[in-house]
Amino acid sequence: MTDTAGLRLGIGLDVAALKVPHAGWQELWGAVAERIDGAADFVTLEDGFARSAGDGPDAVLLANWLGARTRDIGVLAGAPVNFLEPFHVSTAIATLDYVTEGRAGLLVQPLRGERAAEAGRAIGRLGGFPAGDPAALGRDALDAVEVIRRLWDSWEDDAVIRDPESQRFLDGAKLHSIDFKGAGFSVLGPSITPRPPQGQPVVAASFTAGDDPALAAAADLVFLRPGAEELRDRIGDRGPLRFADVPADIATRGASSLAAQVAEWSAAGFDGVRFLPRDLPELVETLLPALRQAGLGARGGTLRDRLGLPPAVNRYATAA
């Protein structure tokens, strides 16, 4: 096995850009699930709705479908958090964590450009939607992440008691209202889904040059794209895990060169690499064999474990 010096491996799939035909999609995605399992620490599924020209399947629904058909790889589902209700995102990712038995995560996708304007025209009349204001959209996304995290903690781990004598399924004292009030919305809680197996599923975000670093700093791991190296200086060394976004073709030029590149990325201070294939054939026929030939693969355990994240402490937990 190649010494990866602790570098974690991810694969990023844009589910809208992959152009999977409707007919036979189950067979195609089923084959991908079978081959990708164990090839990397996690896969991210980017939802196309967050982009101006994006469309395609709902990434959270696809993640739950794939999660039930894999046994090892972590699955991070993309969600346009400025459009979807954070309560619904929280319960969906909690469900994914149960489906995968602790391998779930959320890829936070703020709305940008014309897509934000479209969403503003569609739902802005309801009030609270910060259409057309990048700073307000950033604040809104940050508030959504805070609500999602609080809802995951709104049930204590032992809230479900199933006590036949008292005929109680839950200990109501161990469910907590989050009582969040933000600039654009408020959420009382608690969640309708028990606390996920990981406590806090992994939260990831992408950072591009010029972005406000606040959202990236609130994540557990961040994907850096070209020109975004400024993040290191802006959030300091105690920020999230840093992953380099790398086109898949760079990884497929030879096993020896890939092993050398892995060492370079680790020496440069990255905690991991996310390879970005352009399509499913490149993923299955080129990238995955290259990773295997280079001796690279996944760790075991929950997604938090394999990323080296500490156990998630429940902010609302009451003393025994």
3-state SS, 98-138, equals HHHCCCEEEEECCCCHHHHHHHHHHHHHHCCCCCCCHHHHH
In this structure, are residues 197 and 102 in contact, taking their beta carbons and an 8 Å threshold?
yes
Residue 6 has pLDDT above 80, yes or no: no
Mean pLDDT of 219-232: 75
User: What pLDDT is stored for residue 86 in this prediction?
Assistant: 95
In this structure, are residues 59 and 46 in contact, taking their beta carbons and an 8 Å threshold?
yes
Contacts 24+ apart (CB under 8 A), 18-24: 18/56, 18/279, 18/280, 19/279, 20/57, 20/280
β partners of residue 43: 11, 75
Highest mean pLDDT: which range of 104-108, 158-162, 294-298: 104-108
| Phi, psi angle pair for 7, to nearest 5° | -70, 130
User: What pLDDT is stored for residue 111 in this prediction?
Assistant: 84
| Phi, psi angle pair for 285, to nearest 5° | -90, -20
Tokens read off for 226: 């070209």
Closest by CA position to 90, among listed 46, 144, 148 = 148
User: What pLDDT is stored for residue 87 in this prediction?
Assistant: 96
Taking residue 278's Cβ as centre, other Cβ atoms within 10 Å add up to 14
Residue 187, CB-side half-sphere exposure with 13 Å CA sphere: 22
Q: Please give the share of the chain, as a percent, with pLDDT higher than 90.
A: 49
Report the mean per-residue pLDDT for the chain: 85
User: What pLDDT is stored for residue 280 in this prediction?
Assistant: 83
β partners of residue 172: none
Taking residue 219's Cβ as centre, other Cβ atoms within 10 Å add up to 22
Distance from C-alpha of 135 to C-alpha of 146, rounded to nearest angstrom: 17
Return the C-alpha torsion angle 280, 281, 282, 286, nearest 10.
Answer: 130
Q: Where are the domains of the chain?
A: 8-307
User: Residue 298: what residue type?
Assistant: A
Full-model pTM:
0.91
The phi-psi region of residue 113 (left if phi > 0; otherwise alpha if psi is between -120 and 50; otherwise beta) is: left
| Phi, psi angle pair for 86, to nearest 5° | -60, -30
Residue that wins the pLDDT comparison between 115 and 9: 9
User: What pLDDT is stored for residue 161 in this prediction?
Assistant: 84
Distance from C-alpha of 125 to C-alpha of 122, rounded to nearest angstrom: 7
Residue 1 has pLDDT above 50, yes or no: no
Distance from C-alpha of 223 to C-alpha of 200, rounded to nearest angstrom: 19
Helix or strand (DSSP H, E) at 30:
helix 25-36
Residue 13 has pLDDT above 80, yes or no: yes
Under CATH, to which class is 8-307 assigned? alpha beta
Tokens read off for 272: 């991991």
